[in-house]
Chains A and B, each alone.
Chain A
């Protein structure tokens, strides 16, 4: 039986190593003159697209009022138990509003389930990715930090609507 040639058998040319080494060196030398991919972070900031899931925020309408009706679905669905909502009554047509809306950013896993479950499109994921705090108390974001004008969230809302 004739000996079968295996794929990994090298040809004489390859066995001489030197030409193959030169080939490898040429390839890295070529890379040295290619454009760099590095983004020099603190000076140049990454601008995410609409599909980016940054920290969750509450949508603030043009009138300065939140969309949230304090149904508590987000709090129920949150797998990390990061959201706490307490509802309050209003005398207007909308009836309820969140008296207290807190997200513990140490617990949040940025899964986006709150946004997905929200019937009012009132909580969406923003583009913010720079989250720093120096103690645990600061990590609990209240309404003051969560409310964000709708104009800044348009990208995300468009993305959500196009994928409905």
Chain B
């Protein structure tokens, strides 16, 4: 009986998280277009539904009705596998991200996370590394030179930035003393946010996150002016939609990771001093997580419409000669600070 209940709760969580993510993704696309319009003194989509709010659904329907083309030169199996892999990775990572404190429901303690695993951060790193394969497969199996260049670029870029990302996280782990996302969030109670304690690590992680999600100053794998569409040049219909979805889902993951690791997760500083009941507290905390995430998502889009793309050699330069030493420096700083505080 107990086991069944746990199973049902887990299933419910998965369903809720998956739907929240999908809806957020579709409205992220809407806001991407709106914010780009605002930054360029335009209005943006406003025809479908009030203020264009039904635009994402129109987009999805359009993509569903498109013809699915597989190039003759493509390796059909891998060509089909690539978008599925990209989506799987994007959705899978959400399992370990805590969006709220544990609450007691029907006499059982429920953590506000699908899987409260103690090696959550390792799991995230492993999955995002698999995400590289999706793009590389897509580039390689398309049988097109543009796709191939895009795929190769993406793997080189991901490898370079994964290192500084890992070292930035190491600084956080030194403070929390745990790989569990829930523990990391709890270690930042009060205003002990990692973003304030280790600003260098915060900046390197944010930059690496931009590179990992292929977002604009680092979107070389799909650099439109040079590579047509990069790795997804040869994709159409739902397979293209898969990549599109994965890209935006990755953005959501990146921002929720930044919130979890550096901005105190679901915690609101000094909330406990107000003396509210547990339920209200939990609601405010979950809300604060989404507000922080929303601000970061806006930041992601805002950066995209402000900064030009890096040149490829400059990208590698920045990754190895600047980001890597900085993140190492941050590890030393975090270690010294952790010793001093504890």
Contacts and interface: CB of A to CB of B under 8 A. Distances in A.
A21 B318 CA distance: 14
Contact of B40 (A24, A31, A40): A31
A31 B39 contact: yes
Nearest to A18: B203
- Among B38, B46, B303, chain A packs the most CB atoms within 10 A around the CB of B38
Give 5 nearest A-B pairs by CB, closest first.
A28-B306, A32-B38, A28-B39, A38-B43, A24-B306
Contacts of A28: 39, 302, 305-306
- Among A24, A34, A35, chain B packs the most CB atoms within 10 A around the CB of A24
A34 B41 contact: yes
21 contacts: A17-B318, A21-B303, A21-B307, A24-B306, A25-B302, A25-B303, A25-B307, A28-B39, A28-B306, A29-B302, A31-B38, A31-B39, A32-B38, A32-B39, A35-B41, A36-B41, A36-B43, A37-B42, A38-B41, A38-B42, A38-B43
A35 B43 CA distance: 10
Contacts of B307: 21, 24-25
Contacts of B303: 21, 25
Interface of B: 35, 38-43, 46, 203, 302-303, 305-307, 318
B38 A40 contact: no
B188 to A, nearest CB: 23
Contacts of B42: 36-38
Contacts of A31: 38-41
Interface string A49-88: 0000000000000000000000000000000000000000
Interface of A: 17-18, 21, 24-25, 27-29, 31-32, 34-38, 40
- Among A18, A28, A31, A35, chain B packs the most CB atoms within 10 A around the CB of A28
Contacts of B43: 36, 38, 40
Contacts of B41: 31, 34-38
Nearest to B43: A38
B55 to A, nearest CB: 16
A21 B304 CA distance: 11
A27 to B, nearest CB: 7
A21 to B, nearest CB: 6
Contacts of B46: 40
Contacts of B306: 21, 24-25, 27-28
Contacts of A35: 41
Nearest to A25: B306
A24 B39 CA distance: 11
Contacts of B40: 31
Contacts of A32: 35, 38-39
A97 B334 CA distance: 93
Given A36-B41, A36-B42, 7 more contacts: A18-B203, A24-B306, A24-B307, A27-B306, A37-B41, A38-B42, A40-B46
A144 B306 CA distance: 53
A18 B303 CA distance: 12
Contacts of B302: 25, 28-29
A36 B305 CA distance: 17
